[in-house]
Amino acid sequence: DAKTTQPNSMESNEEEPVHLPCNHSTISGTDYIHWYRQLPSQGPEYVIHGLTSNVNNRMASLAIAEDRKSSTLILHRATLRDAAVYYCILTRPGKSTFGDGTTLTVKP
Amino acid sequence: GAGVSQSPSNKVTEKGKDVELRCDPISGHTALYWYRQSLGQGLEFLIYFQGNSAPDKSGLPSDRFSAERTGGSVSTLTIQRTQQEDSAVYLCASSLEAGAGANVLTFGAGSRLTVL
| Residues in Cβ contact with A47 at an 8 Å cutoff, skipping those fewer than 6 apart | A35, A36, A37, A59, A60, A73, A86
In total, chain B counts a number of residues equal to: 116
Task: Kindly report, residue by residue over B2-33, the tens digit of the pLDDT.
Answer: 799 999 999 999 999 999 999 999 998 989 99
**Between residues B68 and B53, the one the model is more confident about:** B68
Task: Please indicate whether, in this complex, the C-beta atoms of B43 and A87 are within 8 angstroms of each other.
Answer: yes
Closest partner residue to B102 (CB to CB) among A49, A94, A100 is A49
Å from B44 to nearest chain A CA? 7
| Residues A15 and A78 sit within 8 Å (Cβ to Cβ) | yes
A58 in reach of chain B (CB within 8 A): no
| Residues in Cβ contact with A97 at an 8 Å cutoff, skipping those fewer than 6 apart | A1, A2, A89, A90, B45
What is the distance of C-alpha A102 from the center of its chain?
Answer: 8
Could you please report the per-residue DSSP string of B18-84? -EEEEEEPPTT--EEEEEEE-TT---EEEEEEETTSPPB-TT--STTEEEEESTTS-EEEEE-S--G
From chain A, pick out residues whose CB is under 8 angstroms from the CB of B58: 95
φ, ψ for residue A82, nearest 5 deg: -85, -5
**Between residues B109 and A97, the one the model is more confident about:** B109
- For residue A59, what are the CA distances in angstroms to A55, A77, A99? 11, 10, 21
pLDDT, position B101: 67
Å from B92 to nearest chain A CA? 9
Closest partner residue to A101 (CB to CB) among B42, B45, B101 is B42
| Residues in Cβ contact with B2 at an 8 Å cutoff, skipping those fewer than 6 apart | B26
Q: Give the closest residue to B46 by CA, choosing from B26, B30, B66, B19.
A: B66
One-letter amino acid at A43 equals: G
CA distance B36 to B89: 6
CA distance B48 to B55: 6
A39: left (phi over 0), alpha (psi -120 to 50) or beta: beta
Q: Give the closest residue to B46 by CA, choosing from B62, B32, B31, B35.
A: B35
Closest-CA residue of B relative to A36 is B105
CA distance A17 to A78: 6
> Which residues of chain A register pLDDT less than 50?
none
Task: Kindly report, residue by residue over B60-100, the tens digit of the pLDDT.
Answer: 999 999 999 988 799 999 999 999 999 999 999 999 875 66
pLDDT, position B99: 60
